[in-house]
């Protein structure tokens, strides 16, 4: 029996630049930031572990939107809800930069270097297409040389510096097309997710605005026709404690049930039977909002 095969579509130079930049940020810069954080913690408190340092700074780390978002990775628990060591390799660029900027007494020059890496990561995440022009990629790599030089000076580890140089040489090697395809596919998925988040966030902002001026009408009425529509397209949405989109429909319902079973539903947002209709300057919100196991 013949087996169908699908060849990769030839990639353009801009797509290669995007892939190299992603690899540089996710692999190389991530490794440098991890090492930088470890050295900073050692300089601040030589006798303590990373986990002890994080515990000491827990209030600072868990405040605000990003702090709440990262809390479970800062302070992971096992299946029995017992603390386990954090794994810096599980952290993303945002977490590393957030911790360095908020807990490590950085100089302005250090903050600028950390923010340079973080901003380039954000730039890639919000690109419409997985393409980076030659001059932008060249400027990035040129600026990164100075950034790494300053960071290597602080680290004082020649062996690690050579390791990073080898990593950068690997990035500069010829890229297999399947690797470019992988980063392109990952970017498309990320963009689609961000678009969903933006849509839900905008709806939440609209609802919140209407509530603040007393223009919201909340009802919990459904006729048979609405019931039938709900079966076909269940209007259930689950949002994280940071009001970010988590899941929709039956997936949202199943995820919320699991949260309740584990007693972890606190601060999550669960919308059920939602139907938003805009009429002139008034929203009609049909459904219920559950938060902290209460119905409003």
Task: Tell me what pLDDT residue 186 has.
Answer: 63
> What pLDDT score does 203 carry?
60
pLDDT band at 45 (very low <50, low <70, confident <90, very high): very high
Main-chain phi, psi angles of 99, to 5 degrees: -70, -45
Over range 92-109, report the average pLDDT: 94
Give this prediction's pTM: 0.61
| H/E stretch holding 274 | strand 269-279
Model confidence band, residue 8 (pLDDT cutoffs 50, 70, 90)? very low
Percent of the chain with pLDDT over 90: 38
Nearest C-alpha neighbor of 57 from the set 266, 155, 48, 78: 48
Range with lowest mean pLDDT among 7-11, 54-58, 75-79, 142-146: 7-11
Mean pLDDT to the nearest integer, 22-28: 90
Does pLDDT of 73 surpass 60? yes
| Structure token pair of residue 9 | 């579509």
| 202 closest CA partner among 239, 174, 155, 175 | 239
Of the listed ranges 19-23, 32-36, 74-78, 184-188, the one predicted with least confidence: 184-188
The pLDDT of residue 184: 56
3-state secondary structure of 78: coil
Comparing 97 with 237, the larger pLDDT belongs to 97
What is the pLDDT, as a whole number, of residue 291? Answer: 41
pLDDT at 23: 87
pLDDT band at 277 (very low <50, low <70, confident <90, very high): very low
Mean pLDDT, rounded, for 50-75: 87
Q: What residues does each domain of the chain span?
A: 13-175, 202-295
- pLDDT for the residue numbered 283: 36
What is the dihedral angle through the alpha carbons of 253, 254, 260, 264, rounded to the nearest 10 degrees?
A: -100
Q: Give yes or no for a contact between 94 and 121, defined as CB atoms under 8 angstroms apart.
A: yes
148-199 pLDDT, tens digit per residue, is 999 999 999 999 999 999 999 988 887 666 555 555 566 555 555 555 555 5
pLDDT score recorded for residue 294: 36
pLDDT above 60 for 113:
yes
Cα(46)–Cα(4) distance, rounded to whole angstroms? Answer: 59
> Is 35 a residue whose pLDDT tops 80?
yes
| CA dihedral for 54, 56, 61, 62, sign (positive or negative) | positive
Give φ, ψ of 270 to 5 degrees: -125, 110
């Amino acid at each position: 029996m013949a087996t169908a095969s699908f060849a990769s579509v030839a990639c353009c130079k801009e797509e290669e630049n995007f892939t190299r930049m992603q690899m540089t940020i996710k692999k190389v810069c991530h490794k440098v930031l991890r090492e930088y954080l470890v050295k900073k913690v050692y300089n601040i408190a030589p006798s303590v572990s990373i986990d002890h340092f994080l515990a000491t700074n827990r209030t600072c780390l868990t405040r605000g939107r990003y702090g709440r978002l990262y809390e479970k990775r800062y302070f992971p628990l096992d299946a029995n809800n017992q603390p386990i060591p954090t794994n810096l390799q599980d952290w993303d660029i945002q977490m590393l930069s957030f911790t360095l900027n908020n807990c490590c007494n950085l100089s302005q020059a250090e903050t600028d270097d950390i923010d340079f890496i973080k901003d380039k990561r954000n730039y890639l995440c919000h690109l419409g297409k997985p393409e980076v022009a030659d001059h932008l990629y060249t400027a990035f790599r040129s600026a990164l040389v100075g950034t790494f030089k300053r960071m290597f000076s602080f680290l004082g580890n020649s062996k690690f510096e050579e390791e990073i140089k080898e990593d950068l040489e690997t990035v500069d090697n010829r890229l297999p097309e399947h690797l470019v395809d992988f980063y392109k596919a990952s970017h498309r998925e990320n963009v689609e997710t961000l678009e969903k988040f933006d849509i839900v966030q905008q709806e939440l902002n609209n609802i919140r605005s209407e509530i603040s001026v007393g223009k919201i009408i909340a009802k919990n009425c459904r006729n048979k026709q609405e019931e039938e529509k709900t079966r076909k397209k269940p209007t259930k949405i689950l949002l994280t404690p940071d009001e970010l989109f988590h899941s929709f429909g039956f997936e949202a319902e199943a995820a919320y049930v699991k949260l309740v079973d584990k007693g972890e539903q606190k601060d999550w947002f669960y919308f059920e039977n939602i139907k938003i209709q805009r009429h002139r300057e008034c929203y009609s919100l049909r459904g219920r909002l559950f938060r902290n196991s209460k119905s409003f």
